[in-house]
């Protein structure tokens, strides 16, 4: 080793090249050959790229795509027309009023309940929640280190 890393490298290279070749295990060889056979199998035209499809299939696809786009645009236009009608506008306003009334009542009830609880209890609940979260995080860390980290 005192002759330098180049000499050591050439020595190891000669030693490795002098070793006899080893045959792959039979199961590995069978799997590799099966995978190569699958890669060389002909792929059907519908699984290839669009440019490799037959001309008739490409034309049919483009016509069908055009039809679906027209159908989607007609659907959107009919929905816009329906939403713009007077009956839908009146119904939407009444539903919005009902929704805002329900939200307002819920907020008022929650505000009344929270104001009835002493502040010390609220702070205690917040500290308890934080402590439980920290405990869960710590237990998760311990479980991960125990089960998955190799020492």
Give domain status of residue 8, yes or no: no
Sequence-separated (6 or more) residues with CB below 8 Å from residue 52: 45
Give domain status of residue 50, yes or no: no
Give domain status of residue 122, yes or no: yes
Per residue of the chain (151 residues), give pLDDT as tens: 457 888 888 989 999 888 888 888 888 988 998 888 877 778 888 888 889 899 999 999 999 999 999 999 999 998 888 877 777 667 767 778 888 899 999 999 999 999 999 999 999 999 999 999 999 999 999 999 998 877 6
Query: pTM (2 decimals)?
Result: 0.36
Domain interval for residue 126: 118-151
Give domain status of residue 130, yes or no: yes
Give domain status of residue 132, yes or no: yes
């Amino acid at each position: 080793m005192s002759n330098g890393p180049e000499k050591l490298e050439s020595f190891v290279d000669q030693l490795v090249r002098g070793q006899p070749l080893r045959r792959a295990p039979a199961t590995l060889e069978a799997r590799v050959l099966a995978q190569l056979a699958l890669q060389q199998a002909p792929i059907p035209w519908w699984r290839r790229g669009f440019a490799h499809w037959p001309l008739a299939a490409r034309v049919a696809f483009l016509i069908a795509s055009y039809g679906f786009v027209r159908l989607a645009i007609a659907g959107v236009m009919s929905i816009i027309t329906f939403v713009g009608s007077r009956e839908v506008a009146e119904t939407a306003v009444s539903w919005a009023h009902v929704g805002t009334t329900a939200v307002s009542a819920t907020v008022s009830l929650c505000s009344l309940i929270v104001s009835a609880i002493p502040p010390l209890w609220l702070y205690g609940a917040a500290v308890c929640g934080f402590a439980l979260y920290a405990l869960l995080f710590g237990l998760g860390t311990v479980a991960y280190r125990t089960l998955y980290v190799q020492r």
